[in-house]
Structure 1
Amino acid sequence: MQKVKAVVAKSKGAPVEVVTIHVPDPGPGEAVVAVQACGVCHTDLHYREGGINDEFPFLLGHEAAGVVEAVGEGVTEVAPGDFVVLNWRAVCGECRACKRGDLQYCFATHNATQKMTLEDGTELSPALGIGAFAEKTLVAAGQCTKVDADARPAAVGLLGCGVMAGLGAAINTGGATRGRSVAVIGCGGVGVAAIAGAALAGSSPIIAVDIDPKKLEQAKAMGATHTVDSSKADPEIEIAKICSAVYEGAMGADIVVEAVGRPETWKQAFYSRDLAGTVVLVGVPTPDMVVPDLPLIDVFGRGGSLKSSWYGDCLPDRDFPMLVDLYRQGRLDLDAFVSEEIGIDDIEAAFEKMHHGEVLRSVVVL
């Protein structure tokens, strides 16, 4: 058992607190990781606001990289001293999805069995089964993906959630590749990552849609060939215009990634795609949201696919090492996603900056 500093949300909407927690020694199938860096993600704010569930207190943080300190009995995936990116898709290998070969849809991903606790023994709920706003955290060994130890922790840790979600939404879920056009609605961290993924795959044109000029500039820096300010122009019309200028007769983009998670922007995505095109929902809606007034004949008549993207439909063991290698080669600029490096005491201020769209990612460096 170890005592470490960590960031905890104790009740709905209350400011987070830096407290001392207890981290158990790893049991069978578990690992203790010394966290080096962890990104501040919208999901952490959702936890604090009670938008995920009410299992307070939460140990926040999940976009993390660090070094394995100790492993429990039976662990073969990683060893002490390995540099790892943490993930929340530790596939079971036994469920129906895994047995049919669709490991990215594993229905029974697992976390550490033991619980980290407050000093009074209160059990903590780690965000996405990770809880990495902490000097050390306990996870299932399958949540650790070994990558190049020379990579910058603050950059590659972001593959643990938002950057992987966006890259994967474009490439894994949407099927972005050469000869296909891509539009991305919503250019926060996940949306910009989708643009970077489309650029990595060789898609063109790549169209960024947002209402914030700063975000559109960030999107251009990450590979967008065109931008649309949807506060000034109709994105459906503009996307069709851009795509038809490249591919004669195109009525929209081949792939439209919706990275906002709202009914109105999802409908924009639906009507901004070409015939037989693909819509990918990677923005996370709230339970009360519905898509009104969508004629079923339009769903039928346009054909194609309407998809949601879970964690970019990634397999961490397959995707993380590859993407870190591309980063090390200078072909994927993960550093560009790190807007600032902050301390463990600065997370409330980072939530405020994120809320106002001032950063792609604030990253806690421990």
Structure 2
Amino acid sequence: MKQTIRGFRFSAVPAGIKKAGTDRLDFGLILSDTPAQAAGVTTTNLVFAAPVEITRKRLQSGLCQAVLLNSGNANAYTGDQGKLDALDLTAATAEALRIDPELIVPMSTGVIGNPLPKERMLHGIPDLVKKLDSGTFMDVAKAIMTTDTVPKTVVLDGETGSGPFKMLGMAKGAGMISPDMATMLCVILADMNVRAGFLNECLVEANSASFNCITVDGDTSTNDTLVVMAGGRADALTLGNKSSDCESFCSALKDACMGLARQIVQDGEGATKVIEVRVVGAPSKEKAAQVARKIAESPLVKTAFHGEDPNWGRIICSAGRAGVPFDPGNLDLSIGGVPIVRNGKLVSEDWEMAAHTAMKNREFQVTLDLRSGDGEWSILTTDLSEEYVTINADYRS
């Protein structure tokens, strides 16, 4: 499906943020023809980056016309200068575009604690603006990659009583990925006008069902930002008030977020497997999530996944330290559809080889039934490999 959308233009350039003198794209721009309705979700980390602070404030208006993105530098923990740098860059971009700087939100990802190479970035802004007529959505998706091995994009078509609409989304993220957002930048565009308040409601629901249900390493970044822009042009159709129309739009947004979230896990740093950890029979949905997260983020469990070792004891041990009451003598556990524990007892059949074989698959499911209620929740996680350690040991090298 073609990765273009009415009302939006794109560009990306190598500004030398990742490394001076290279041709790697690391500076991107998304521009809507007119101010678009907008909503956003940002990191829960108390140490949030300067661009996050600016984006939060500017999205309060419910409008956005441009997103200025960079990789190679997070502009996090950079003090007042980091904020001033981000403001200077959005101001220079606004001047070049002849739009209000308050309608530009910045997004950054990369190494924490280093000042932005602002002068190189300022030098790159004229090229960014010039290339808006020839740049592509994929250019920007590539420009925000750090340890990602592939760009992550999604294209969806939808239908409402008001007419058809299209969604285009991009995301980056491979490490420092945990529920409550992660080291993730994501922009989703829709070519239909949607009331900002309703757009925010849809986004919160979509984020909860997608990006907050994934983990790679249990870390939550300083820079997580998810922005949705709807409209983009003067003649864009407007979403009607019918419940069916609203449901159609929200469903498409959720599908876009879930598609991008799964791509992030599939491209997790050093990951060779994607595992769905499903906890059922918990006292509540929240308690199920608590147990599932504890299992999905356990290094011992994740290394067992990598070794294709059905080490059920590690899984139950992790569940037991999640702070959720249940009866250990009354639970069920299966790996890859193979029953291992029933009613708190190891099954008598020859389960180990069957479970080991199931774990050889690229994707499989772990299901734990606490038999303590009706709450259930699922989270996507990865295995933990030697390559993950190598990537992160050498990250700043």
State the TM-score, normalized to the length of structure 1: 0.24
Which has the greater radius of gyration?
2
